[in-house]
Structure 1
Amino acid sequence: MTNKNVIVKARVDSELAEKFSLVCDFEDKKSSSLLRELIEQYCLTHEEALKQFDVKVDIGGAYGRGKDDKDEFEISAKLISKSDGEAFHQVNFILPEFRINGVERYRVDSFYYHRENFEGCINENGRLVGAKLTDGIWKGAVFLYTQVDIEDPTSCFADIKAQLRNRIMSAVIKSYVNNRKA
Structure 2
Amino acid sequence: MKNNKDSSIRVRIDRGVEAKLKQLCEWDNTTPSAVLRKLVDVYVARHSLSDLILDVSFEITKLPESNPHSWYVFKIEAELKGELEGESLESIELPFLLPEFFEGEREPFRVDSAYYHRMSFPNCTGKRDRFLGAKLVNRKWKGAIYVYRDELLKTPDVYETQVKDALKDNIILGVSQYVKLKMSAALESDIVDEVFNLTHGNERDEQT
* Corresponding residue for residue 88 of structure 2: 87
Q: Give per-residue Cα distances to partners, 1:106-145, cap 9 Å, x unaligned.
A: 1111011101110110113111101000111110001111
Letter in 2 for 1:86: E
Report how far residue 100 of structure 1 moved. 2.3
In structure 2, the residue matched to 1:13 is none
Query: Which residue is 1:123 aligned to?
Result: 126
After superposition, the C-alpha distances for 1:36-70 in whole angstroms (9 at most, x for unaligned) are 55555555533322x2x322122112465520x2x
Aligned to 2:155: 152
More strand by share: 1
1:137 to 128, 140, 147: 140
Moved more, 18-27 or 79-88: 18-27
Stretches of structure 1 that go unaligned for 5 or more consecutive residues are 11-15
- The TM-score, its normalising length taken from structure 1, stands at 0.75
How much identity, in percent, do the aligned residues show?
Answer: 27
1:92 Cα offset (Å): 0.3
Distance in 2, matches of 1:81 and 1:48, equals 11
Matched letter for residue 127 of structure 2: E
Inter-partner Cα distance in structure 2 for 1:97 and 1:37: 40
Following superposition, the deviation at residue 82 of structure 1 comes to 4.4
Secondary structure of the residue aligned to 1:98 is coil
CA distance in 1 between counterparts of 2:148 and 2:16 reads 49
1:175 pairs with 175, 178, 189, which one?
A: 178
1:3: which partner in 2? Answer: 5
Partner of 1:73: 74
In the alignment, structure 2 segments of 5+ residues that lack a partner are 187-208
Q: Is 2:169 the counterpart of 1:163?
A: no
Number of residues of Structure 1 aligned to a counterpart in Structure 2? 172
- From 110, 113, 116, the equivalent of 1:110 is 113
Structure 1 contact 81–87 (Cα < 8 Å) conserved: no
CA distance in 2, matches of 1:38, 1:18: 19
**Residues 57, 165 of structure 1: 8 Å contact kept:** no
- How far 1:17 moved relative to its partner? 4.4
Amino acid at match of 1:72: V
